[in-house]
Chain A
């Protein structure tokens, strides 16, 4: 077997290195106003929605595990503009922003958080299991790494059926330590599946920093073991996300197979609502907030003249209204009927459940 080309693995002494790119100048990027507005509006929606969800969790309107995406919004928004409506999406349990940005009504996502029958998974999934076939969102999955083979399988079906579609498959930095990741990357590359593997490297898997889980902390280099095109991306810069996903999608659509992208990003909140996040410093969190993806986009829009203060105020107002409306809708919706436990378990309608 040929020798593996291994990019030099840098050993970091300090915290996980996220390439904190110095703030990009607006002229570096050439995207139309419409795209910028989409990014700003969707990211702000996800942000405000989740801030609200966090409050409602405190008031016990939302129960169970609840993982917020705050800080990571560009990872979805940038990909959404780089892909088509027919492309497929799948992720782990940190899954509120994906459907929201893809166009699932905020009402359906909030109702799901409340466990209401009007939720996008009929109240059966809750925070960790958002699904919305209408926007090709194949769901939020709770077993770390479990969705990685599924993403490749979704891509396998696209290849099999001869479409031009790709699947974008998200995972956390913690998930790349699962065997399923390595098995799947190998097969996806061998079979040239049209899948884009995205590692949302937010530096931590619960309380465990990336550097404590492996000698390999430049996670994109893991793809090189399978000769998979792989690159790190500044996940706080929505334009960079878009460009990287567009390159990967083009390769996949040409039949050249998968790509591994490492989005370097950060979650501002704890792992879940019950995590006080004592394993990191305030300074570290602050440093990332300085790179805030929404603020960055806003700055560049102002520079490009793609939005003025009136516009930003208006968006803030509209987003607030959408979020408020989603809460009211969720509040007023009914819980699933107890008899619903026997629904949706099998396709077979008269499946003989054991009742005693």
Chain B
């Protein structure tokens, strides 16, 4: 099968959906003439023109809200945040408008919108540019939150997100845009809300999503060298969460570790841990462990980055702990 970059997979998803549906458009900072700050939308202005690929000023609150209004009135916007750090400027419109409109209006005004862009750290970018708000958005009813980990999933999930009639937060990573993966030429969709068992095993269940899947898979590889087969689950969507897949696996392996880039308090890992103890308590042979970023803003120096982010070493330690090794 052909290999394409993560950014190309995203672009294909957007282009295909824009060809298919006139109501879909892309709006954000540097998406058009600059061809995207991270070149995700390269060539889209040339194909679709300035009516449908729209550069904005640095006015996140405004263009997020314009997107929501347009969605209420029949369009299907894709709003790009250059990174989700900057979505905080716009979060009022995401939470108070997009997530609430359907319910407040008694079902009269759905908001079919996608807010997308990179999340999390991208190396030594320091505190304001290295944050994960997956759990913040996932906390809010009314939204769906998708965090793909590879080009194949990214394309199928983004197409589903664009076709979804509800607001979807779609989180990528600068550090993954260049990753290559197998993506078929033929059209396909991946349903939102379905996790994937990406590696089977019996020793323990290792759950992650997004960029941290690399850490999870690398840790599983390391364990396999010692003959320990860890089952790895890619959540792919963190709202709704596919609890069934997680619980089924934990019932089989009796042990679980969660790897997540966000800070630990009130994280997706806390949520999963609650569900596992509530619905698989009798199956657990050890307390669930998690590996999150340390409970601090990310510093610039390489030593601070190294000491803060989840990594393979900490993940293996957590796996060993749940296996009492």
Number of interface residues of A (CB under 8 A): 47
Q: Specify which chain B residues have a CB less than 8 angstroms from the CB of A123 in the assembled complex.
A: 299-301, 303-304
Contact with B along A128-165 (1 / 0, CB 8 A): 11000000000001111110000000000000000000
Which residues of A from 95 to 151 have beta carbons under 8 Å from B?
115-117, 121, 123-129, 141-146
Cβ-defined contact, B34 with A206, below 8 A = yes
Q: Given A178-B59, A353-B294: A206 and B304 within 8 A (CB)?
A: no
Cβ-defined contact, B59 with A208, below 8 A = no
Q: Specify which chain A residues have a CB less than 8 angstroms from the CB of B33 in the assembled complex.
A: 207-208, 212, 279
Residue in B30, B60, B297 whose beta carbon sits within 8 Å of that of A206 in the complex? B30
Q: Given A207-B34, A338-B304, A338-B306: A128 and B128 within 8 A (CB)?
A: yes
Cβ-defined contact, B304 with A341, below 8 A = yes
- Give min CB distance, A278 to chain B, whole Å: 9
Contact with B along A340-356 (1 / 0, CB 8 A): 11100100000001111
Cβ-defined contact, B304 with A141, below 8 A = no
Cβ-defined contact, B300 with A179, below 8 A = no
Cβ-defined contact, A353 with B124, below 8 A = no
Contact with A along B116-127 (1 / 0, CB 8 A): 000000011111
B33, B128, B264, B300 interface centre (most CB from chain A within 10 Å): B300
Once the chains are docked, how many angstroms separate the CA of A337 from the CA of B127?
17
Residue in A115, A121, A145, A212 whose beta carbon sits within 8 Å of that of B302 in the complex? A115
Give A116's nearest chain B residue, CB to CB.
B301
Cβ-defined contact, B124 with A64, below 8 A = yes
Query: In terms of DSSP, what is the predominant structure of the interface of chain A?
Result: loop
Cβ-defined contact, B34 with A64, below 8 A = no
User: Does A177 count as interface, using CB distance less than 8 angstroms?
Assistant: yes
B58, B303, B306 interface centre (most CB from chain A within 10 Å): B58
Q: Specify which chain A residues have a CB less than 8 angstroms from the CB of B249 in the assembled complex.
A: none
Cβ-defined contact, A354 with B295, below 8 A = yes
User: Does B61 count as interface, using CB distance less than 8 angstroms?
Assistant: yes
Q: Specify which chain A residues have a CB less than 8 angstroms from the CB of B125 in the assembled complex.
A: 64-65, 126, 128
- Give min CB distance, A291 to chain B, whole Å: 26
B55, B296, B302 interface centre (most CB from chain A within 10 Å): B296
- Give min CB distance, B276 to chain A, whole Å: 16
Once the chains are docked, how many angstroms separate the CA of A335 from the CA of B304?
9
Give A179's nearest chain B residue, CB to CB.
B61
User: Does A307 count as interface, using CB distance less than 8 angstroms?
Assistant: no
Q: Contact residue range for chain B?
A: 35 or more
Q: Specify which chain A residues have a CB less than 8 angstroms from the CB of B132 in the assembled complex.
A: none
- Give min CB distance, B131 to chain A, whole Å: 11
Contact with A along B299-318 (1 / 0, CB 8 A): 11111101110000000000
Q: Specify which chain A residues have a CB less than 8 angstroms from the CB of B127 in the assembled complex.
A: 124-125, 129, 142
Q: Specify which chain A residues have a CB less than 8 angstroms from the CB of B297 in the assembled complex.
A: 345
User: Does B57 count as interface, using CB distance less than 8 angstroms?
Assistant: yes
- Give min CB distance, B51 to chain A, whole Å: 15
Cβ-defined contact, B300 with A125, below 8 A = yes
Give B307's nearest chain A residue, CB to CB.
A338
Q: Specify which chain B residues have a CB less than 8 angstroms from the CB of A124 in the assembled complex.
A: 126-127, 299-301, 304
User: Does A174 count as interface, using CB distance less than 8 angstroms?
Assistant: yes
Cβ-defined contact, A336 with B303, below 8 A = yes
Residue in B29, B62, B295, B299 whose beta carbon sits within 8 Å of that of A355 in the complex? B295
- Give min CB distance, B311 to chain A, whole Å: 12
Cβ-defined contact, A126 with B124, below 8 A = yes
Q: Specify which chain B residues have a CB less than 8 angstroms from the CB of A179 in the assembled complex.
A: 59, 61-62, 89
B128, B265, B290 interface centre (most CB from chain A within 10 Å): B128
User: Does B129 count as interface, using CB distance less than 8 angstroms?
Assistant: yes
Cβ-defined contact, B89 with A129, below 8 A = no
Once the chains are docked, how many angstroms separate the CA of A336 from the CA of B305?
11
Contact with A along B84-124 (1 / 0, CB 8 A): 01101100000000000000000000000000000000011
User: Does B70 count as interface, using CB distance less than 8 angstroms?
Assistant: no
User: Does B37 count as interface, using CB distance less than 8 angstroms?
Assistant: yes
Cβ-defined contact, A177 with B299, below 8 A = no
Once the chains are docked, how many angstroms separate the CA of A114 from the CA of B233?
38
Q: Given A128-B126, A177-B57: A336 and B29 within 8 A (CB)?
A: no
- Give min CB distance, A117 to chain B, whole Å: 8
Q: Specify which chain B residues have a CB less than 8 angstroms from the CB of A115 in the assembled complex.
A: 124, 300-304
Give B306's nearest chain A residue, CB to CB.
A338
Give A342's nearest chain B residue, CB to CB.
B296
User: Does A322 count as interface, using CB distance less than 8 angstroms?
Assistant: no
Once the chains are docked, how many angstroms separate the CA of A214 from the CA of B58?
11
Q: Specify which chain B residues have a CB less than 8 angstroms from the CB of A279 in the assembled complex.
A: 33-34
Cβ-defined contact, A64 with B304, below 8 A = no
Residue in B37, B300, B303 whose beta carbon sits within 8 Å of that of A64 in the complex? B300
Q: Specify which chain A residues have a CB less than 8 angstroms from the CB of B30 in the assembled complex.
A: 206-208
Task: Pick 23 A–B contacts, CB within 8 A, sort by A.
Answer: A63-B123, A64-B126, A115-B300, A123-B301, A124-B300, A126-B124, A128-B128, A129-B127, A129-B300, A142-B128, A145-B58, A177-B58, A179-B59, A179-B89, A208-B29, A208-B57, A213-B58, A335-B303, A336-B303, A337-B303, A338-B306, A342-B296, A354-B295
Of all A-B residue pairs in the complex, the 4 with the closest CB atoms, nearest first, are A126-B300, A177-B57, A115-B301, A338-B307
With A115-B303, A143-B88, A335-B302 given, name 14 new contacts (CB 8 A).
A65-B125, A116-B301, A121-B300, A123-B300, A128-B129, A142-B85, A174-B58, A177-B58, A206-B34, A207-B33, A213-B57, A335-B301, A340-B299, A341-B304
